[in-house]
Amino acid sequence: MACMPLVTSPPHFPVTAPRPAAGVLLPGRLDAEALHPALWRGHQFGRCAEPALASGFPVLDAQLPGGGWPHRVLTELLLPHPGVGEMRLLAPSLAATLRSGRLVMLFDPPATLSAWALAQLGLDAEQMLVVDGRSKVLPEASSLWALEQALRSGHVGAVLAWLPPRLRAERLRRLQLAAQAHDGPAFMLREMAARQLPTAAPLRLELQPAGADRLALHLLKRRGPPLAAPLRLALPPVLSAAARAKVAQLASVPTAQPLCAAAFVDLS
Partner 1 sequence: MLWIALHLPLLSLESFAATLPPELRQMPLALVEARQIAQANASAQALGVKPGCKRATALGLAPRLVTAPADPLRDAQALQAVLHACLAFTPAVTVLPPSQALLEVQASLRYFGSLEPLLQRLGSALAPLGHAMQFASAPTAQGAALLSRMANVPAGLHCPDLRSLQTVLAAAPVELLGAGREHWEDLQGMGLRTIADLRRLPRAGLARRFGEALQGEIDRAFGERPDPRTWVSLTPTFEDRLELFASADTSEQVLHGAAVLLARLVAWLSAQHAFVRRFTLQLQHEARWRRSDTPPDTAIEIVLAAPSRDAAHLALLLRERLGRTQLVAPALELRLRADDIARAPPPNGELFPSALGEREGLTRLVERLQARLGRCQVQRLLRVHDHRPERSSALHEVDAGASPLLFGRPEAKRPGIDRHAQGTPITRPVWLIEPPQPLPDRRDQPLLDGMPLQLLSGPERIEAGWWDEGLAGRDYFIAKAPDDSLVWVYRLRLADLAPQARGWYLHGCFA
- Considering only residues 216 to 245 of the shown chain, the ones binding partner 1 according to CB under 8 A are 236-240, 242-243
> 264: Cβ–Cβ under 8 A, 6 or more apart, which residues?
none
Choose, by CB under 8 A, the member of 12, 29, 232, 246 that binds partner 1: 246
- Angle of CA points 67, 71, 77, to nearest 5°: 80
Dist. CA 112–CA 114, nearest whole Å: 7
β 214-221/231-234 pair status? antiparallel
In 3D space, the residue among 75, 109, 84, 86 whose CA is nearest the CA of residue 182 turns out to be 75
Q: Tell me phi and psi for residue 91, to 5 degrees.
A: -55, -45
Question: Which of 111, 228, 229, 263 forms a contact with partner 1 (CB under 8 A)?
Answer: 111
* Window 147 to 186, contacts with partner 1 (CB under 8 A): 149-150, 153-156
Residue closer to partner 1, measured from CB, 206 or 213: 213
> Least distance in Å: CB of 115 to partner 1?
4
Of 112, 196, 252, 268, the one binding partner 1 by CB under 8 A: 112
Please pick, from the candidates 23, 38, 145, 193, the single residue that binds partner 1 as defined by CB under 8 A: 145
Is residue 132 at the binding interface for partner 1, with CB under 8 A as the rule?
A: yes
Residue 128 bridge partners (DSSP): 104
Neighbour tally for 192: CB within 10 Å? 13
Residue 41 or 244 with smaller CB distance to partner 1: 244
Cα–Cα distance for residue pair 261/258, rounded to 1 Å: 9
For partner 1, which is the closer residue by CB, 99 or 168? 99
> Identity (one letter) of the amino acid at 194?
A
Q: Measured between alpha carbons, how far is 194 from 162 in angstroms, rounded to an integer? A: 13
Alpha-carbon span 267 to 1, nearest angstrom:
80
Size of the site for partner 1 (CB under 8 A): 71
- Residues 23 to 62: which contact partner 1 by CB under 8 A? none
218/248 Cα distance (integer angstroms): 24
Least distance in angstroms from the C-beta of 17 to partner 1: 27
- Out of 10, 28, 42, 101, the only residue in the binding site for partner 1 (CB under 8 A) is 101
Closest CB to partner 1 among residues 15, 79 = 79
Nearer to partner 1, 160 or 203 (CB): 160
Binder of partner 1 out of 123, 178, 217, 233 (CB under 8 A): 123
CA distance linking residue 156 with residue 192, whole number of Å: 27
- Closer residue to partner 1, CB minimum distance, 112 or 196: 112
The only residue of 52, 73, 74, 84 in contact with partner 1, by rule CB under 8 A: 84
CB of 240 to partner 1, least distance (A): 6
